[in-house]
Amino acid sequence: MIRRQKNKVILTLSIIFAISCQNQNKDMIEIVPPVAKKVSMELIMHNDKRIDNYYWLNDRENPEVIAYLEKEDAYYNAMSAHTKDFQEKLFEEMKGRIKEDDASVPYKENGYWYITRFVKGKEYPVYCRHKDTMDAPEEIIFDCNEMAEGHDFFNLGGIAISLDNKLAAFGVDTVSRRQYVLQVKNLETGEILSDKIENTTGGAVWANDNKTMFYSKKDPITLRSDKIYKHILGDQTANDDLVFHETDETFGTYVYKSKSDKYIIIGSYSTLTSEFQILKADDPDSNFTVFSPRERGLEYSISHYGDSFYVLTNKDKATNFKLMKVNEGNTSSDHWEEFIPHREHVLLEDVDIFKEYYVLSERENGLNKLKITRWDNTDGYYLPFESETYTAHVSSNPDFDTEILRYTYNSFVNPGSVIDFNMGTKEKTIMKEQEVLGGNFKKENYTEKRIWATSRDGVKIPISLVYRKDTKIDANTPLLQYAYGSYGATIDPNFSTVRLSLLDRGFVYALAHIRGGQYLGRRWYEDGKLLKKKNTFNDFVDCSKFLIEKQYTSPKHLYAMGGSAGGLLMGAIINMSPELYHGVIAAVPFVDVVTTMLDEDIPLTTGEYDEWGNPNEKEYYDYMKS
């Protein structure tokens, strides 16, 4: 874990500091960068010709590609050699804030208390449990440090415990392709059973007979999760029953169990559409039935309680979603009845169900809100939060018959807390607050706030800021501006121990909540995708201009950062307004959208037409090119 953190964060910060200090390194020996050869590749679509001189680089098996990438690595190592000592200093500084022998807050499920802990000096977690009380002897379920021995990469997938608490299904990836080998461990004897299933998503679901598992497999080329199988312990895996095949290439599929333990549920999803199938967990040999047939543009998710399902959905143009209810005997959308109506300015994100209460996760004006209501409607209230740069989410609550709601809270300056809240007495207990080691961190030394920029079309764009109170804010202040802005993914202002290394050196960190995310509701997402995608780029640039105008920084000291789809954002803004930025970090950037979205063999491509558009259609092709 720490090594991965080093790879991701230390290099990022060292690059920023290296760029900001580049004038101090004029005596460096000039190093000639490698130049990729040009091999003209003519690509034609809609009678439009594109020439890609670097198309040959997409063949990861080509020895010439490998050789060129090795030259790139050598060039980077040479150019950053003067930062090596600084990188190590940063690593030790950041590592010094992390409690290596940390442990999660225990949670109770089906008679056992589960906990994940780390051992000082070791990299991987240890998964444990205690029967009935935490005072009972510890049972180690998995020690990933032992399991990782001999592997350059190791990741343990979803752990699923059988209803009788005797078996654990688990997935292992030792290649870093998220293609997990699914296995089963006998928790009474410690034996790993002979059942071994390749190319899965890593998780499994137990039926209530404690011998039948349902799991999902991936297409070996695209890595799309497309098949659900049923496996009975002891049977040859080659004989597993295929219970569902998602043939629509724009959809993926998965399987899970309702919190009530009554249903096994298969979900199918695309960017704009969802569908579910249900099966009683007591009768795993029966057939799944469709909950409500898919309708393009209809999104829904389901939670079971009593004799009903509660459906979170955008049905009937409920842009910000609403909650509906339907009897488990007839679940098609024609029978859904409104339970919580749609609200124009409140995004309904989730619902959690308990025996006496239900909890709504909402977002209003960008801020998380948690509303607790008794089923009998004798009480209903919101948890109080005061800041404008906080993040609060419902945590893991597998126990159905309890008055305790577990949620998490943090902000730019408040380390993450795990809180148990008694929904009856309204008393809260902080079970754990993230410990920042080193002795130098004091939350009162930092300022966090939210400001609003105006985009070129007049829309107000929120920006969350954090910096040390003793940082002088003017045109000479270094500022790192980050954003993502795709898939409706909301990036909330979270606490980060590694970010302290920036802040303590005088940086301002700015999180721009641009369109394409869902920070200000579903419409915020709709206005930053497909033929409105340029709003994402314009918002980021206009936030930069605002920060410069208000003297938070200047072009000589402004840095931009984004990764993956946020790397596409970086590719756009560095071409649109290069004069605004002293440095740009594009992490694994998705920048060749046209070519990528025309290649259906690439993982995820077809499923993302609803996000970027399908370039096989000229309107979207032309917009992407523009």
DSSP letters along 249-294, please? TT-EEEEEE-TTSSEEEEEEE-SS-EEEEEEETT-TTS--EESS--
State which H helix or E strand residue 20 sits in: helix 11-20
Neighbours of 292 (CB within 10 A): 23
Helix (H, G, I), strand (E, B) or coil at 563: strand
pLDDT computed for residue 104 by the predictor: 92
State which H helix or E strand residue 541 sits in: helix 534-549
Which residue is listed with tokens 């202002």?
Answer: 493
- How confident is the model over 158-185, as a mean pLDDT? 94
Strand partners, 197: 182
pLDDT computed for residue 603 by the predictor: 63
pLDDT computed for residue 17 by the predictor: 62
| Rounded Cα distance, 587 and 169, in Å | 34
pLDDT computed for residue 158 by the predictor: 87
Helix (H, G, I), strand (E, B) or coil at 548: helix
Q: Write the DSSP string, 86-150.
A: HHHHHHHHHHTTS-TT-BPPPEEETTEEEEEEE-TT--SEEEEEEESSTTSPPEEEEEHHHHTTT
The two tokens of residue 81 are 């050699």
- Whole-number Cα distances in Å, 492 to 205, 368, 385, 389: 31, 9, 15, 8
Phi, psi of 384 (to 5 degrees): -85, 130
Statement: residue 150 has pLDDT above 90: yes
Q: Considering only CA atoms, which of 410, 546, 411 is closest in space to residue 479? A: 546
Q: Are 412 and 393 in contact (CB under 8 A)?
A: no
Q: Considering only CA atoms, which of 307, 299, 292, 301 is closest in space to residue 260? A: 307
pTM above 0.85, yes or no: yes
| Rounded Cα distance, 29 and 355, in Å | 69
| Rounded Cα distance, 439 and 432, in Å | 18
Neighbours of 333 (CB within 10 A): 17
Q: What is the mean pLDDT of the chain?
A: 92
pLDDT computed for residue 26 by the predictor: 46
pLDDT tier, 221 (very low <50, low <70, confident <90, very high otherwise) = confident
% pLDDT > 70, the chain:
95
| Rounded Cα distance, 83 and 79, in Å | 9
Q: Per residue in 260-294, pLDDT tens?
A: 999 999 999 988 899 999 999 999 999 999 999 99
Q: Considering only CA atoms, which of 524, 441, 436, 531 is closest in space to residue 484? A: 524
pLDDT computed for residue 243 by the predictor: 97
pLDDT computed for residue 5 by the predictor: 42
Q: Which amino acid is at 206?
A: W
Query: What residues contact residue 283 under an 8 Å CB cut-off, 6+ apart?
Result: none
Q: Which amino acid is at 615?
A: P
Q: Give the residue extent of every domain in the chain.
A: 105-148, 150-290, 443-591
Fold of 443-591: Rossmann fold (3.40.50)
Q: Per residue in 581-618, pLDDT tens?
A: 999 999 999 998 999 899 877 766 777 888 999 999 99
pLDDT computed for residue 599 by the predictor: 86
pLDDT computed for residue 97 by the predictor: 93
Q: Per residue in 387-401, pLDDT tens?
A: 888 999 999 899 889
Q: Are 21 and 15 in contact (CB under 8 A)?
A: no
Q: Are 393 and 350 in contact (CB under 8 A)?
A: no
pLDDT computed for residue 518 by the predictor: 95
The torsion of the CA quartet 35, 36, 40, 45, rounded to 10 degrees, works out to -120
Helix (H, G, I), strand (E, B) or coil at 431: strand
Q: Per residue in 543-582, pLDDT tens?
A: 999 999 999 999 999 999 999 999 999 999 999 999 999 9
pLDDT tier, 101 (very low <50, low <70, confident <90, very high otherwise) = confident
pLDDT computed for residue 3 by the predictor: 39
Q: Are 229 and 242 in contact (CB under 8 A)?
A: yes
Helix (H, G, I), strand (E, B) or coil at 323: strand
Q: Are 481 and 512 in contact (CB under 8 A)?
A: yes
Q: Considering only CA atoms, which of 217, 174, 175, 210 is closest in space to residue 193? A: 210
pLDDT tier, 481 (very low <50, low <70, confident <90, very high otherwise) = very high
| Rounded Cα distance, 311 and 292, in Å | 11
User: What CATH number labels 150-290?
Assistant: 2.130.10.120
Neighbours of 366 (CB within 10 A): 21
Strand partners, 460: 454
Query: Tell me, what DSSP letter sits at residue 233?
Result: T
Exposed, middle or buried: residue 480 (CB in 10 Å: 0-12, 13-18, 19+)?
A: buried
- In angstroms, how far is the first alpha carbon of the chain from the final one? 40
Exposure of 308 in the CB half-sphere (CA atoms within 13 A) = 13
